Structure 1
């Protein structure tokens, strides 16, 4: 069987995930191709996977290139992601691809999609033989907003490769307690609520030297800087900027508490990255990844909060700060039981029907 993956290969945890899936199906004896758009064209083979890269140009060019690729390679299965989805579904429809699978990652609240965009996307998605999503929340949205048939949709979580990265040291301030938050500095990532909660925690614990580290860049940075000054915590809030994968591996292991306050997260890779590195954390109930954890475990770990409830977050932060790194929770064990790469690979095989002839 010939399988064609379409996603951008780069140095990111999401790219690592799809490279790993491609390598896995190639190891099972399937001819496997990965297509990407980058600055330069290339053609090479790694671990029995053929990587084809074309130069990134216009959207029309992408449609042409993908159509030509599918026509020439005649894959049995096409698996597309992100901006590759519509061109792959269109070309697959015209060329009668046996199985055309689209991978959907983000919620409407995250993309701010218009009604017109939703309508157009729904037309393309209904050409898919299967759609893979990373949470039940996203599955429900596809059914209700995009009018996709439920039987077309499979739910598959991510795993994280962050533990395989060699941590790269970054300069961090000295403090008794380092509280971290990572993600784009945008309104929907909700760092504003975290700053308000941090200010109250600092006021309630005046003898404890606290610092808040924000990793990421985005359009809300100026507002967050002004808010920190208004809340009289300017000297305690440090903006680290955009960190590399290796720097993030270091960041997770150095913070005493990670807080992830997003208003909307279809899945939330940062959540499982923290779990994988056994980082104590608090996470917004908006994270789709929580749906893969049994309710009794969520109660045991007591790490979930309502993203717009400052008082709840303050209370949970104070309890975690008091416990410090001595708290009796094994986050890595939670990761291993819910986001095992072996379990996810086996489920992926079922989705693309590798177990059938």
Structure 2
């Protein structure tokens, strides 16, 4: 009997121990779950700053002069003095068109002028002879008047011959085509022996003056309205003068070493793109930039006493930009933000936040409104 009692007591003790263990296991997940509900988050305390923001626009580059070289004389291309891509000086010979037909025209014009000059001398002699006869009353004045009329006609023919000779000289000069400006030679679609003239669709070449490069870029209607609000001035020209020097980001992500200046905005929007075109000028002393290059123009803007937050501290909900505001009880509340300006990384906020507010800095995808968080840097 005593053995049975002892066995019963051992079983009872073991059951109590098992019950206690089960109770601990049942309580532990609940406590752990409550503990994991409080997430640690990075915090941004809102304060007003005066940052410099940047706006980037895709641009197309062109030389200050891109001149199509076209012939003013027709004929066979006899010589090409330059090669594609060569840099040439203003006045340097580029092409020579066969000038033999024009030389012959000049010779004919010169001969016609000499004939007219000889006729002038003959007509003057005739007038002088008849004047003596009229003074001696040998002949009537009618013959003298006819002679004087003939003299005037010869004088007119001389003027015509002189004009024809000048025109022939000009046409002959057109056969030697010279560079109107200094610059770089483009493609040469024609070769020696090609027949060229006024009816050709392609120019002989394109001469690019790239001592200064124009960078053309476009702004949307919204960006243009923001531009007009940012810069002081009563007119667009006055506002353009207030734009700080701009930079050019090249396709290899390097920054061009010369600063540019916005100096022009076109007078109207493009109907097909609803955008307006600006122009910035960049010095190009080394000829690094060429017509046809592309790049990104960066406009800087100084801001005063604004609220700026990183874009990673926001999320989008129903086409609205939102942020998680941390209350005094460390609970999250989502707030809608009004964006005044943005760049690649940041937003400038015009409404929705005030100085002293705390928002979650990152990792918003793991959070939801109403939960309690543990700020790591209040």
Q: Tell me if TM exceeds 0.5.
A: no
For the pair shown, which has the larger CA radius of gyration, 1 or 2? 2
Identify, as 1 or 2, the structure richer in strand: 2
TM superposition score category, shorter chain reference: under 0.3
Identify, as 1 or 2, the structure richer in helix: 1
